[in-house]
Structure 1
Amino acid sequence: MIGVVVVEDDFRVAQVHAEFTERVPGFRVVGTANTAARALELIAQHNPDLVLLDNYLPDRPGVALLAELGTDAIMLTAATDPATVRAALAAGALNYLVKPFTAEQLADRLTAYARYQARLPITGAAVDQDEIDRAMRLLHDGDRPAAPKGQSTLTAQLVLDALRRGGQARSAAEIAEELGIARATAQRYLAALAQDGRARMTLRYGASGRPEHQYETTAR
């Protein structure tokens, strides 16, 4: 279970973010803080894996707090000026999500973080460059635009997960059979995933000579 501390100056917003987080399987909010000082107290008490951090805190800016956290952090803030964004990334923020955002957008980033954490745990054997590259790709796998109009982000994620499970290039017919959806639907979602870079499309020529579209995930 991934322990999370939510740091947000508005207690109502903090509660919303906590509720969004706990909807994501594998995540548990261990505390919420409305100030930087309280955030440090909770971190020392609970030793969370992840902090969801606002920038506009009453006692100190979130970006000034980042280096002291001693834990992974994702910024959840309305601050959009380049200086703040760059300062947050330079101080170690793993991701940056601008308010207002949907539960789905946060869930995408949390799910990507969970995969990153599993791929690159704090303790364990040394890793090579390929493993580091895979971990970095996984970390930002949730940084994608919403599904095209008329499409469900949940279905898009299911299709993407099916590609990952397969471990090799797969056709729309194979994905459709596995997920119990129409082939045309699978094809539409696969094409959208390829368009935004989450999947790669190739052609396979069968006995009939007609090419068949094959898809594989770009995050390995």
Structure 2
Amino acid sequence: MTEFRVLVVDDDFHVARLHGDYVSRVQGFTALDSVGSAEAALRAVPALRPDLVLIDIFLPDRSGLDLLPQLDVDCMVLSAARDAESVHKARRRGALAYLIKPFDPETLSTKLRQYARYRKLLESNGSLDQELVERALRQLSGGDSPKKPRSVTEQEIRAALERASGQHRTALEVAQEIGISRATAQRYLSVLVEEGAVSVSLRYGTTGRPEHHYRFSG
């Protein structure tokens, strides 16, 4: 399982430690030692190589918004700033999310899980198509919508992939195992891939045509 390394940039030591604790509670994420200034962040990013930076705007030596374009890494802004211009500028300069302080642990947890699904989709296949890119981008803002109840068919498909014990299965193999059409299996598998519950890879079969192979991600 991929472990995402997260760097918190906040000059308030207690807040930085609190947010680091929030991060460490989320499965698949590890909080690195936090830093408290823009200059420290510029040194830490190339040295520690985090996957994600959680950055405050009000830093002692420079605005976090001015720092964003200089960090060649995924970033989310965590700030008490509530004005529209700060939000707009953060997004314009590449922030994947904007969280207003104070927030509860679940708010950050949701954003981190969305980020994990976004990364998983982008990295599930070496060659991306437009549909997969759109699915990945939707993950960054998809955590606020209520989840629909799982249908019996979807539960059976998930169970079939779990029984495969980490082995990849095609949509046809899944369909034959639980007694549904390939098209139906493909439709449900696409949804599970979008949610990040299932990973997909492209492989060439005996006919020379590429096939999608699916594996349960947990």
Normalised-by-shorter TM-score class: 0.5 to 0.7
Secondary structure of 1:31's counterpart equals coil
The runs of 4+ residues in structure 1 deviating greater than 2 Å are: 123-126, 160-168, 217-220
Alignment match of 1:115 (pick from 98, 114, 117)? 117
In the alignment, the residues of structure 1 paired with residue 118 and residue 48 of structure 2 have an alpha-carbon distance, to the nearest angstrom, of 21
Q: Contact 1:50–1:71 (CA<8 Å) still a contact in 2? A: yes
Alignment match of 1:63 (pick from 44, 53, 65)? 65
User: Once the 2 structures are TM-superposed, how far is the Cα of residue 9 of structure 1 from its aligned partner?
Assistant: 1.3
Q: 1:162 to 1:50 in 2, by over 3 A?
A: farther
Tell me the C-alpha RMSD between the 2 structures. 2.8
Q: Identify the residue that residue 133 of structure 1 maps to in structure 2.
A: 134
Q: 1:3 to 1:161 in 2, by over 3 A?
A: farther
Q: Identify the residue that residue 4 of structure 1 maps to in structure 2.
A: 6
Q: Which amino acid aligns with 1:116?
A: Y
Q: Identify the residue that residue 17 of structure 1 maps to in structure 2.
A: 19
User: Once the 2 structures are TM-superposed, how far is the Cα of residue 25 of structure 1 from its aligned partner?
Assistant: 0.4
Q: Identify the residue that residue 40 of structure 2 maps to in structure 1.
A: 38
**TM-score, L = length of structure 2:** 0.66
* Residues 1:163 and 2:150 are matched in the alignment: yes
Q: Which amino acid aligns with 2:139?
A: L
Q: 1:167 to 1:128 in 2, by over 3 A?
A: farther
Q: 1:22 to 1:161 in 2, by over 3 A?
A: farther
In the alignment, the residues of structure 2 paired with residue 164 and residue 98 of structure 1 have an alpha-carbon distance, to the nearest angstrom, of 35
Q: Identify the residue that residue 185 of structure 1 maps to in structure 2.
A: none
Q: Identify the residue that residue 78 of structure 1 maps to in structure 2.
A: 80
Q: Identify the residue that residue 87 of structure 1 maps to in structure 2.
A: 89
Question: What is the identity percentage for the equivalent residue pairs of Structure 1 and Structure 2?
Answer: 39
1:73-126 Cα shifts (integer Å, max 9, x gaps): 0111111111111110000000111111000110000011001011113x9623
Q: How many residues align?
A: 159
1:99-158 Cα shifts (integer Å, max 9, x gaps): 11000110000011001011113x96231111111001112122x28xxxxxxxxxx7xx
In the alignment, the residues of structure 1 paired with residue 66 and residue 149 of structure 2 have an alpha-carbon distance, to the nearest angstrom, of 41
Q: Contact 1:31–1:42 (CA<8 Å) still a contact in 2? A: no
Secondary structure of 2:47's counterpart equals helix
Gaps of 5+ in 1: 146-155, 169-216
Gaps of 5+ in 2: 156-190, 196-218
Q: 1:163 to 1:39 in 2, by over 3 A?
A: farther
Q: Which amino acid aligns with 2:132?
A: E
Secondary structure of 1:33's counterpart equals coil
